[in-house]
Amino acid sequence: MNKLLIVGTVAFDAIETPFGKTDKILGGAATYIGLSASFFKVQSAIVSVVGEDFPQEYLDMLSAKGIDTSAIEVVKGGKTFFWSGRYHNDLNSRDTLDTQLNVLADFQPKVPANFTDADVVMLGNLHPIVQTSVLDQLTAAPKLVVLDTMNFWMDCALPELLDVIKRVDVITINDEEARQLSGEYSLVKAAAKIHTLGPKYVVIKKGEHGALLFHDKKVFFAPALPLEEVFDPTGAGDTFAGGFSGYIAQSENISFKNLKNAIIYGSNLASFCVEKFGTERMEDLQRDEVLERLQEFKALTQFDIALEE
């Protein structure tokens, strides 16, 4: 089985949406990526850090999904990374209320020996120095390196972020972040500028308005499935990244054509994530539900039109 190496936060989140509010619940970029990638036939491991306050049952849940958690370091006496956010009424935008790095501040990642030759590396959202350190520990060039990041790191660690962006094949960011990173309002111009920073493929996520994949002069669009119930968008971007990287790791094919399928898989899995608070929906999601919704995706986007010569 192909190997998928995941790095990112494993966290406590406190979330407010127009539909309710949670106290500290399980969150973190790597958590969502791992859960999403667990729907593919891949061997995956998470490199991350938590504090002593992190419940063992959360780690057990991830292990039960087949994810190797042995490289999630538990810092004695330390506190787990904490993020809190409040969504606006449109659920497409949010304010970060608090970010406490805690144990993440001094984190030095250690890639397990059996994952230094991973086929696909998914650099989830966290400090770009940690993302770089993971790349430095690899002993063989992966088939694909994917990076996800957010405005927080653009604001506080831009030079380090630009250094790691240079080294990746694919970057996935949302529309606002693409505009911030490139200084361009047009997403076409933004993607072209981000290409020049290193990544051959640029994926721009637009929340409920889908995702765009840019490569050379080519562009592909995947819609988001119109859903009856959207409860909490937290983790949708990471779930997308997990679906994208998990599918590529399983299929071993990095053609543009297959990357299109990867963003459909990412969008499909993300559509489940938003249906309940936190990780709840991803934890109980079944494989047949994923396949059924894939059919809906196909029906949503397929049309036959005769083009006049």
Question: Interface residues with ligand AMP (CB under 6 A)?
Answer: 9, 11, 13, 27-29, 83, 99, 125-126, 150, 152, 234-238
The residue among 123 and 213 lying less far from ligand AMP, judged by its C-beta, is 123
The residue among 61 and 192 lying less far from ligand AMP, judged by its C-beta, is 61
Q: In angstroms, what is the minimal distance from the CB of 27 to ligand AMP?
A: 3
Q: In angstroms, what is the minimal distance from the CB of 124 to ligand AMP?
A: 7
Q: In angstroms, what is the minimal distance from the CB of 270 to ligand AMP?
A: 8
Closest CA to 263 of 283, 237, 281, 232: 237
Cα distance between residue 71 and residue 36, in whole Å: 18
Q: In angstroms, what is the minimal distance from the CB of 293 to ligand AMP?
A: 19
The residue among 125 and 182 lying less far from ligand AMP, judged by its C-beta, is 125
The residue among 119 and 148 lying less far from ligand AMP, judged by its C-beta, is 148
Q: In angstroms, what is the minimal distance from the CB of 164 to ligand AMP?
A: 14
Q: In angstroms, what is the minimal distance from the CB of 28 to ligand AMP?
A: 5
The residue among 126 and 194 lying less far from ligand AMP, judged by its C-beta, is 126
The residue among 241 and 264 lying less far from ligand AMP, judged by its C-beta, is 241
The residue among 1 and 18 lying less far from ligand AMP, judged by its C-beta, is 18
Cα distance between residue 290 and residue 292, in whole Å: 6
Tokens 């306050």 correspond to what residue? Answer: 53
Q: In angstroms, what is the minimal distance from the CB of 212 to ligand AMP?
A: 17
